[in-house]
Amino acid sequence: MTDDARLPDDVDALKALLLEARAQLAERDIEIEQLNAQIDKLKRMQFGRKSEQLDRQIERLETELEDLTGGRGVADVHRARASGTNVAVGATSSKEALSPHLPREEHMLQPDSICPNCGKAMQSLGEDVSEQLARVAAMFKVVRTIRRKAACTCCNHFSQPPMPGLPIERSIAHPSPLADILVSKFADHQPLYRQSAIATRDGVKLAPCQHEGAGSASARPCASR
């Protein structure tokens, strides 16, 4: 007998079941929040000291939290199916709730199309989706500006587009690394010498450029020639 067959036909009874289910979900969400708070508190207590009893208590609470969040994932799947929405099992876990604004790169793993036992065609049963957070490291590149030349054979007129302006005169630094250096230094508090060491691992040497201004010299990192 399916779940739909066990549902009552009376509208008031269905409303009562819905209210009860909502209350249970709200109670479970509160319990999850309380467990998270307890785990965070115990982990703060654990910092700086070792206690096997504390470790066991944290492990027990984390297991209980996983059971609750797993149950919430199953309930979300049931609600989505009831509303006609396809949700892949395994994609509802709170551990995989990655921000939707991040670009996605999909790797499709296909099963065997032919059964290795009987040789008949296999039928699709849906899919499981999991997500892992990856990071594409920043990289240096060379931007080449090519200015074509042209001359008139009749009047000897010469034409060439002007060189685009640079943030630092007589420097080979593109605006993009300069912006990255400023953000790393003043927003992320990354010292210039440390940025230079990071760039050296990529085979790029950053040298301090002396810029005269306001009667004093200030060092600015720039790509050295």
Q: What's the pTM value of the predicted model, to 2 decimals?
A: 0.43
- Share above pLDDT 90 across residues of the chain, in percent, rounded to a whole number: 10
Tell me the pLDDT band of 161, cut-offs 50, 70 and 90: very high
Quick one: pLDDT at residue 87? 45
| Three state DSSP letters for the chain | CCCHHHCCCCHHHHHHHHHHHHHHHHHHHHHHHHHHHHHHHHHHHHCCCCCHHHHHHHHHHHHHHHHHHHHHHHHHHHHHHHCCCCCCCCCCCHHHCCCCCCCCCCCCCCCCCECCCCCCECCCCCCCCCCCCCCCCCCCCCCCCCCCCEECCCCCCEECCCCCCCCCCCCCCCHHHHHHHHHHHHHCCCCHHHHHHHHHHCCCCEEEEEEEECCEEEEEEEECC
Residue 164 has pLDDT above 70, yes or no: yes
Average pLDDT over residues 39-58: 69
Quick one: pLDDT at residue 86? 46
Residue 193 has pLDDT above 50, yes or no: yes
Query: Per residue in 145-158, pLDDT tens?
Result: 999 999 888 888 98
- Share above pLDDT 70 across residues of the chain, in percent, rounded to a whole number: 71
